Structure 1
Amino acid sequence: MIVGVHGIRCYRYLAEAGTVEGAAEALAAEWAAALGMPLSTAYYAPLLHLGAHQGTADAPELLPPGAQRMLTDWVSALGAPAEVTMGPGTLPVRQAASWLAERFGEVARKVAIVFCREADTYVTDRDSPRRAAARDEVLRVLHGTRPRAVVAHSLGSVVAYEALWHRPVALDLLVTLGSPLGMPHVVFERLALGEGNEERKGERPPGVRRWVNVADVGDIVAIPRDLPSRFPGIDDHHEVSLGLVASHKATRYLARPEVVDALAPLLAAPDGA
């Protein structure tokens, strides 16, 4: 059994399916087709959804203040000059979004705005009920299905990493794809691993036997791309090329041989092997 933990822009599955169960099934079918293996998904998107505008409005100045700060910190980590992230009012966030579009394209700008809106909802408040609920939904699925592997994409890698520290689950393999876990100021310093675990940030979660990370060389979310530099608990790290337009797309990551090869032995071997 493999469980997938999704990233950003996944509320649309609920909008299309009409039920949480239907959304989880639709997402699982899409991921399974890309991976070429059966899986189920932990679907937490509705728990971070703030309203009808979320995921559709792409004006950076409409982001909440925390998300605006996140965006300017992000472009700073990507190498933007200081003048891009400094200025009065909403000027820095508009400059940051424009710099992203000029440097990486309009798709990257839109992805960054959606990511900041959803990530801000999750990471800004360590004690947020929404944050706890997202972790609990992942844990509910994991404790209910007892999978051998978890595949977590984008923001989902943050939710899964925290969840696996809060209530450990025995896993043969954790695979993170396009992970922002190490992104300075945006995610890394804001990770909340639970009481007694904060000093273990960067380690492999307890109960996880092996951790594989895959990052596209052009993925602006996977910063730093060399995630083991901040997370020495990673056993294997692969830098790949998915193509400029699809550099953060979950299904493109799932189809990579590095991901398939890591997971295939678990399906071939009997449970407990």
Structure 2
Amino acid sequence: MVIIGVHGIRCYRYFTQAGTVAGATEALAAEWAAALGLPAGHDALRAAYYAPLLHLGATQGPDDPELLPRTAQGLLVEWVSALGAPAEVTMGPGTLPVRQAVGWIAERFGETAKRFAVLFCREVDTYVTDPASPHRASVQEEVRGVLAREQPRVVIAHSLGSVVAYETLWHHPVELDLLITLGSPLGLPNVIFDRLSLGEGNEGRKGLRPPGVRRWVNIADVGDIVAQPRDLPGRFPGIDAHHEVALGLVASHRATQYLARTEVAAELARLT
């Protein structure tokens, strides 16, 4: 049974460490396979690795929210609003809202979450802001190519990868026994949900299970600030099973922690 893993943000580091896309892909797949409990050297899990296609280089600047593109700053403010920040945090002239937004995140979730938020909004903005973006098209083409070549039974998609996988499976349908989304931001209003692009003739099907997918399972940590809103089936009736889990605040968005959950193992066991 072939499984394809579609990663989320913060994965360019695999390329930095490995030096090649092939090496990065192999390292990511090995890490995910280990988290699933597959034996070392097991090749059932392969990765669709697209991180370099969203990496804009040094021009992105350090983890300073005011150096984000205006569109990414807007996404950050919208996201913080969805997390429950009061209006006084998300309203104001100039760059005041984005400064207040990251300050609110740091106060509520810690400095690590603040840095994560800036990186998340940078990568999400690069992918979702323009439906006709060459970055968006190239990422989907990479995933499409992997799916066509490997012909998996299962796709496991984490974080932004769930958005990539969902759109790709609408634009380029394939037969899958199982789609598992982990820590998915698919339902985030304004930030993600309203920007989804499913292809010509499919816009009215937003929220449905992608064609060709027999079962869709979503898993979200109760403290995951990316997996918002937590009741994803409320926006996506195509989800067949939804599990809320508790990974712990520090690990609440890590792919490996999600992959190690018994709920993932149980869903995979149904197919064997």
For normalisation by structure 1, the TM-score amounts to: 0.96
Cross-structure match for 2:236? 231
Inter-partner Cα distance in structure 2 for 1:66 and 1:2: 34
Instruction: Give how far 1:128 is off.
Output: 0.5
Q: Which residue, out of 121, 124, 133, partners 1:119?
A: 124
Cross-structure match for 1:84? 89
Number of positions where the alignment pairs a residue of Structure 1 with one of Structure 2: 266
Inter-partner Cα distance in structure 2 for 1:47 and 1:118: 10
Unmatched 5+ stretches in structure 2? 39-43
Q: Helix, strand or coil: the match of 2:188?
A: coil
Cross-structure match for 1:271? none
**1:46 aligns to 2:52 (yes or no):** yes
Inter-partner Cα distance in structure 2 for 1:31 and 1:107: 23
Contact kept, 8 Å, 1:107 with 1:245, in 2: the verdict is no
Alignment of 1:1-273 (within 5 A): 1-37=2-38, 38-52=44-58, 54=60, 57-266=62-271, 268=272
Q: Helix, strand or coil: the match of 1:52?
A: helix
Inter-partner Cα distance in structure 2 for 1:153 and 1:230: 18
Inter-partner Cα distance in structure 1 for 2:186 and 2:177: 20
Match of 1:43, as an amino acid? Y
Inter-partner Cα distance in structure 1 for 2:107 and 2:143: 37
Contact kept, 8 Å, 1:5 with 1:157, in 2: the verdict is yes
Inter-partner Cα distance in structure 1 for 2:138 and 2:55: 12
Range moving further from structure 2, 207-216 or 98-107: 98-107
Range moving further from structure 2, 205-214 or 103-112: 103-112
Deviation sequence 1:232-265 (CA, Å, 0-9, x none) = 0000000000000110000000000001111123
Instruction: Give how far 1:52 is off.
Output: 3.0
Inter-partner Cα distance in structure 1 for 2:264 and 2:134: 33
Range moving further from structure 2, 214-223 or 257-266: 257-266
For normalisation by structure 2, the TM-score amounts to: 0.96
Inter-partner Cα distance in structure 2 for 1:58 and 1:257: 35
Unmatched 5+ stretches in structure 1? 269-273
What is the root-mean-square deviation in Å for CA atoms of aligned residues?
1.0
Inter-partner Cα distance in structure 1 for 2:115 and 2:265: 29
Same amino acid, percent of matched pairs: 74
